[in-house]
């Protein structure tokens, strides 16, 4: 109850009628994120057993009536899925844009966001990616480090630094990424709660189709006004940079900017919140490694990479077979839906010794949590920067921080998304 209370206070949800006929105050973003994750504490033994039996598993689904299902019956139906669990095959699929297409996202998230780069294959993808990538170049990220990211983390910690205790998920890791994204986009603070709500609704497209479609429509209308204003009055924000970006004489049209902004908000609200929570959980659960990082901040980059490998925030990404192909001895027909289990690949013992252990000193920390190939996550450098700033600030501002010994079994859970629902800690009050 305390966590839910904090979440509602942080998000400032308006008490107005919602799209489901309920007050918007009843829509709890943290509960939505928890439901999206799936109520599975540890999927890795199951994934390991699947990989040991076959690195590619075919799963056939029968007709879906919607009764008893956690999926919205209006969401697209996938008759069968080929799940990849080995690191070697996962990397092969992610880097082969000829035989494995990303176009399948058009039938899911594309229905509510429009045509994003997520569903584009080369050469179209290669024309669009450099334009949006310019907004995330090193010079821009350095500019955001203190003025936006550091300031946001500090203001959240200010609210509880004197208490000596906190739940770092609802009070820090959950609200900070969407605040950062809203500031990067140049959105007024009064709109932040609205964007947190709409972001979660977009992500939940397979759970509540109508609500996600309505959220996409509402955001598109909002961004139309924002883009029009920035074309007339440019600022030092991401929207203005997207408008001004030019590669080879081509600039993004409004219809190309809308989908990217729609994709950016949920990404900022979802994966960074979870990866930051997993990083803190990994260190707090291994006090010796936390002490080492506290004493030597040069260890932070490798702690971040190990946390991303150990607990991938998004366990699965999708591709569609563009032609008949064989993977791991399994024939996949053209049009077959391929689910790449990033979480299973990142814990493949053929690649990582003792893969279930959190070990910041691990020799090989190369992982595929951000994907690979042409579609490797555009926000990879921003995500790492946010995690680095957050961890440094936590160590600076919360001396002696440690897990609450009286906490009821803090743990990471989820089958699609992975993160701890709560992270209760004690520290020396400021």
- Report pLDDT for 75: 60
Element of type H or E holding 387: helix 380-397
- Report pLDDT for 14: 34
Q: Which domain holds residue 384?
A: 43-59+79-399
Q: Which residue in 139, 134, 238 sits closest to 182, CA to CA?
A: 238
Residue predicted with more confidence, 216 or 50 = 50
**Range with the lowest mean pLDDT among 6-20, 81-95, 237-251, 396-410?**
6-20
User: Among residues of the chain, what percentage have pLDDT more than 90?
Assistant: 48
Question: For residue 11, is it within any domain?
Answer: no
Q: Is the peptide bond before 354 cis (omega within 30 degrees of 0)?
A: no
Do residues 313 and 274 touch, judged by C-beta distance below 8 A? Answer: yes
Question: For residue 25, is it within any domain?
Answer: no
Given a cut of 60, whether residue 66 has pLDDT beyond it is no
CA distance 159 to 400: 18
Given a cut of 50, whether residue 61 has pLDDT beyond it is yes
Question: For residue 313, is it within any domain?
Answer: yes
Question: For residue 309, is it within any domain?
Answer: yes
H-type alpha helices, 134-285: 138-144, 151-158, 168, 176-185, 192-203, 209-232, 238-244, 254-284
- Report pLDDT for 412: 95
Question: For residue 28, is it within any domain?
Answer: no
Question: For residue 390, is it within any domain?
Answer: yes
- Report pLDDT for 8: 31
1: confidence class by pLDDT, cuts 50, 70, 90: very low
Question: For residue 363, is it within any domain?
Answer: yes
15: confidence class by pLDDT, cuts 50, 70, 90: very low
Q: What is the pLDDT of residues 87-97, one digit of tens each?
A: 999 999 999 98
Q: Where are the beta strands (DSSP E) in 72-200?
A: 80-84, 100-101, 165-167
Given a cut of 50, whether residue 225 has pLDDT beyond it is yes
**Range with the lowest mean pLDDT among 67-71, 355-359, 416-420?**
67-71
- Report pLDDT for 269: 67
Question: For residue 395, is it within any domain?
Answer: yes
Residue predicted with more confidence, 230 or 33 = 230
Domains in the chain, number: 1
- CATH code, 373: 1.10.630.10
**Range with the lowest mean pLDDT among 100-114, 185-199, 266-280, 386-400?**
100-114
3: confidence class by pLDDT, cuts 50, 70, 90: very low
- Report pLDDT for 179: 87
| 161-to-8, 55, 153, 426 alpha-carbon distances in Å | 20, 47, 12, 10
Given a cut of 70, whether residue 243 has pLDDT beyond it is yes
* DSSP category for residue 349: T
Retrieve residue 62's tokens: 């029968």
Given a cut of 50, whether residue 395 has pLDDT beyond it is yes
- Report pLDDT for 31: 64
Residue predicted with more confidence, 70 or 176 = 176
Segment 338-343 mean pLDDT: 96
């Amino acid at each position: 109850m305390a966590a839910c209370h904090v979440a509602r206070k942080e998000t400032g949800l308006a008490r107005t009628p919602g799209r489901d006929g309920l007050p918007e105050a009843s829509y709890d973003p943290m509960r939505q994120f928890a439901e999206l994750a799936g109520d599975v504490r540890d999927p890795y033994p199951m994934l390991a057993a699947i990989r040991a039996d076959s690195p590619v598993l075919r799963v056939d689904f029968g007709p879906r009536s919607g009764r008893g299902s956690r999926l919205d019956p209006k969401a697209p139906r996938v008759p069968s899925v080929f799940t990849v669990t080995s690191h070697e095959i996962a990397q092969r699929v992610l880097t082969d844009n000829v035989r494995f297409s990303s176009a399948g996202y058009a039938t899911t998230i594309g229905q509510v966001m429009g045509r994003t780069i997520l569903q584009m294959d080369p050469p179209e993808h290669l024309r669009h990616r450099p334009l949006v990538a310019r907004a995330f170049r090193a010079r821009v990220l350095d500019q955001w480090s203190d003025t936006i990211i550091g300031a946001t983390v500090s203001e959240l910690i200010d609210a509880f630094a004197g208490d000596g205790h906190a739940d770092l998920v609802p009070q820090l890791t959950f609200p900070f990424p969407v605040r950062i994204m809203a500031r990067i986009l140049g959105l007024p603070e009064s709109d932040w709660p609205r964007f947190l709500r709409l972001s979660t609704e977009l992500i939940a497209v397979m759970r509540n189709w109508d609500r996600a479609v309505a959220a996409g429509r509402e955001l598109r209308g909002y961004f139309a006004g924002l883009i029009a204003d920035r074309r007339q009055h440019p600022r030092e924000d991401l929207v203005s940079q997207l408008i001004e970006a030019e590669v080879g004489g081509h600039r993004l049209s409004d219809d190309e900017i809308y989908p990217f902004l729609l994709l950016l908000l949920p990404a900022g609200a979802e994966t960074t919140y979870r990866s930051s929570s997993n990083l803190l959980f990994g260190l707090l659960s291994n006090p010796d490694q936390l002490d080492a990082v506290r004493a030597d901040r040069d260890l932070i980059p490798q702690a971040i990479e190990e946390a991303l490998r150990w607990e991938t925030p998004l366990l699965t990404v999708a591709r569609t077979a563009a032609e008949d192909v064989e993977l791991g001895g399994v024939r996949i027909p053209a049009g077959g839906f391929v689910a790449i289990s990033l979480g299973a690949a990142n814990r493949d013992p053929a690649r990582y010794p003792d893969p279930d252990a959190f070990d910041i000193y691990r020799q090989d920390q190369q992982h595929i949590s951000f994907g690979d190939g042409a579609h490797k996550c555009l926000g990879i450098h921003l995500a790492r920067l946010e995690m680095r700033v957050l961890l440094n600030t936590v160590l600076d501002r919360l001396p002696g921080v440690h897990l609450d010994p009286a906490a009821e079994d803090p743990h990471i859970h989820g089958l699609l998304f992975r993160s701890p629902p709560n992270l209760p800690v004690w520290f020396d009050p400021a």
